[in-house]
Amino acid sequence: MATKAEARARIQEAYHDIGGPVFSAAEFTFTKVFIDYKGWDAIPDEGDIAISELAEKIAGSQELVDRIVTFFFAAKTLANPAPGRVAHTEKSRAYKSDQPTAWLYVHMFNNVFRSFAQVPTFFAKHGLSSPESVNFTPLGLAHGYEDKPAYEIIVADKAVHKGFNEALRSIGGMYSLRGVYDFGWLREPLAAENESQRPALVDVGGSHGLALCDAVRNNRFIPAERMVLFDLPQVIENTKKNHLNEDLQKMQLVGGSMFEPLPEPIHGALIYQFRRVFNDFPDQDVVRALRNVRKVAAPDTRVLVIEELLSEKRLPMNVVLDVCLLCAAGRRRNAAMYSKLAESAGFRLNGEFQHVNSQFDDFSVLEFVVT
Ligand SMILES: C[S@@+](CC[C@H](N)C(=O)[O-])C[C@H]1O[C@@H](n2cnc3c(N)ncnc32)[C@H](O)[C@@H]1O
């Protein structure tokens, strides 16, 4: 029998083991709360502020704000220069509105953190295997839906959709294809077929058109008029309303779904590109979308899949994002996995172009041609 002291030591150890994860979960939660209530913005950039004044600024009770701020002192997220006063640290400044970290927090909290809590329930209902359909996901359960596509859930909730969009926008710049993929081969067919006006580049799931703007800025020989932004109708409406810059105004913006027969204006394009789309979908949907492209492809059409791939090195950030994607029935894949899916849709891998930059944001361009 363990002595009382031994039992106590064991319990202390157990608390210690669980303390780290619980602390991180609390930090995630209350950081998101302070983002929502603009608590981070209410603290002056330089100098400090009384906790009571901070509570007033964010319309919170002083008692609660004091508890949360005390927690942030322990987390070393906020500094406590004098009793009852609070100041920013380097870490907390990144949570101010419109900073990329803040948007990623909102997106990750809404769509991943909340979903993680539903993963055990999901497995209990559907069995211990990866979600096979976007209709039945831990993300769905987290948002109160038993049977609804993950994207529809995100788009239907204004706050969640804004968090998702802004997170995408804030990190979109790092996926520039400049120096990674050479669009030079388009010069010839574009010149030869000037009359036909077939689309040069269709960005499927192109959202705000960041990828197309990057392509046109770096390849002025591709006429913006022959670029097509294709995404769900609500997303296209949002882009038209909020994000139209000079280049996008010249492009064609077409609403629809990659799972429905693709509309006439986007048939026969030189390139169909899927940037950061397929990671969000299970295998069967990737094949469905590629088959739809195959049906309208020309013999010289190329398909670009631009994604962060599953790394053989099992880097922590790479692998953790794979289990994040699991919550929405998505997954990270390597080139061989994509190749297999593309082959069953009538394409073969023609090249892989890598962007290797750091431990987590490496992405590849997989180029496929029709078989
Ligand atoms: C992670 S975002 C990537 C956006 C953009 N390609 C980028 O790299 O910034 C995935 C995009 O796929 C779009 N999408 C989801 N389901 C779709 C469907 N069935 N048809 C077309 N686009 C879809 C979403 O609306 C969203 O814009």
Q: Give yes or no: residues 232 and 335 share one domain.
A: yes
d(C-alpha 360, C-alpha 356), whole Å: 9
What CATH number has the domain bearing residue 337?
3.40.50.150
Tell whether 324 is covered by a domain.
no
The pTM of the whole model exceeds 0.75: yes
- The answer as to whether 360 is a domain residue is yes
| Structural domain contains residue 117 | yes
User: For residue 275, how far is its CA from the centre of ligand 1 (angstroms)?
Assistant: 8
Which one of 111, 133, 277, 305 would you pick to mutate in the ligand 1 pocket, going by the greatest count of ligand atoms within 8 A of its CB?
A: 277
Ligand 1 centroid to 238 CA: how many Å? 13
Kindly report the backbone phi and psi dihedral angles of residue 253, in degrees, each rounded to the nearest multiple of 5, phi listed first: -115, 115
Task: Please identify, by atom number, the ligand 1 atom nearest to the C-alpha of residue 306.
Answer: 8
From 207, 213, 279, the mutation candidate for ligand 1 (largest count of ligand atoms within 8 A of CB) is 207
H helices present in 173-257, as ranges: 187-192, 210-218, 233-242, 246-250
Query: Are both 281 and 144 inside the same structural domain?
Result: no
Give Cα separations from 178 to 31, 280, 365 (angstroms). Answer: 35, 24, 12
Q: How far is the CA of 281 from the centre of ligand 1 (A)?
A: 10
CA distance 138 to 140: 5
318 located within any domain: no
d(CA 151, CA 174): 23
Dihedral (Cα; 345, 347, 353, 357), 10-degree rounding? 0
Confidence of residue 17 (pLDDT cuts 50, 70, 90): very high
- Domain co-membership, 116 together with 238: no
Are both 114 and 163 inside the same structural domain? yes
Pair 46, 186 in one domain: no
Task: Classify residue 128: in a domain, yes or no.
Answer: yes
State the number of CA atoms in the 13 A half-sphere of 358 facing the CB: 6
Q: Tell me: do 265 and 358 sit in the same domain.
A: yes
200 and 231 together in one domain = yes
Spatial separation of the C-alpha atoms in residues 296 and 222, rounded to whole Å: 21
Task: Look at residue 196 and tell me whether its pLDDT is greater than 90.
Answer: no
* Cβ atoms 253, 227 nearer than 8 A: no
**What angle is formed at CA 193 by the lines to CA 189 and CA 197, rounded to 5 degrees?**
115
230 and 346 share one domain: yes
- Among the atoms of ligand 1, which is closest to the Cα of residue 172? 9
Same domain, 141 and 198: no
Name, of 14-18, 235-239, 290-294, 315-319, the range with top average pLDDT: 290-294
Within a domain: 323: no
Number of domains in the chain: 3
The residue among 153, 170, 187 that closes a domain is 170
Q: Which two tokens stand for residue 52?
A: 């009571």
Residue located nearest, by CA, to atom 12 of ligand 1: 205
Sign of CA dihedral 40, 41, 44, 48: negative
- Same-domain pairing of 197 and 338: yes
Burial class (CB within 10 angstroms; exposed 0-12, middle 13-18, buried 19+) of 302: buried
Q: What is the pLDDT of residue 168?
A: 76
Task: Verify that 179 and 166 share a domain, yes or no.
Answer: no
The pLDDT of residue 360 is above 60: no
Residues of the domain holding 123: 100-170
**Cα–Cα dist 116/274, whole Å:** 27
Say how far apart CA 257 and CA 176 lie, in whole Å: 25
pLDDT tens string 67-101: 999 999 999 999 999 999 999 999 999 999 978 89
CA 160 to centroid of ligand 1, rounded, Å: 15
- The encoded tokens of residue 244 equal 């139209």
Q: Who lines ligand 1 at CB under 6 A? A: 151, 168, 172, 175, 204-207, 210-211, 231-232, 235, 257-259, 275-277, 280
Average pLDDT, the chain: 93
Domain boundary at 42, 76, 93, which?
Answer: 93
Given the CA of residue 277, which atom of ligand 1 is nearest to it?
10
Residue nearest to atom 11 of ligand 1 (CA): 205
Do 78 and 123 lie in a common domain?
Answer: no
Nearest CA to ligand 1 atom 22: 205
pLDDT at residue 361 is higher than 60: no
Mutate to test the pocket of ligand 1, among 151, 203, 273, 331 (most ligand atoms within 8 A of CB): 151
CA 187, 192, 195, 198 torsion-angle sign: negative
* Spatial separation of the C-alpha atoms in residues 32 and 40, rounded to whole Å: 10
Cβ atoms of 66 and 73 within 8 Å: the answer is no
Please state which of the ranges 23-37, 119-133, 161-175, 195-209 shows the lowest mean pLDDT: 161-175
Q: Which of 264, 255, 262 is nearest to 303 (CA)?
A: 262
Among candidate residues 170, 197, 215, the one where a domain is terminated: 170
Specify the ligand 1 atom closest to the Cα of 274: 6
Tell how far the Cα of 279 is from the centroid of ligand 1, in angstroms. Answer: 10
Q: Report phi then psi at 85, rounded to 5.
A: -125, 155
State the distance from the centre of ligand 1 to the C-alpha of 204, rounded, in angstroms.
7
Lowest mean pLDDT among 30-39, 184-193, 286-295, 300-309: 184-193
Task: Return the DSSP state at 301.
Answer: -
CA atoms of 232 and 241, how far apart (whole Å): 14
How many angstroms does the Cα of residue 107 sit away from the middle of ligand 1? Answer: 15
292 is a domain residue: yes
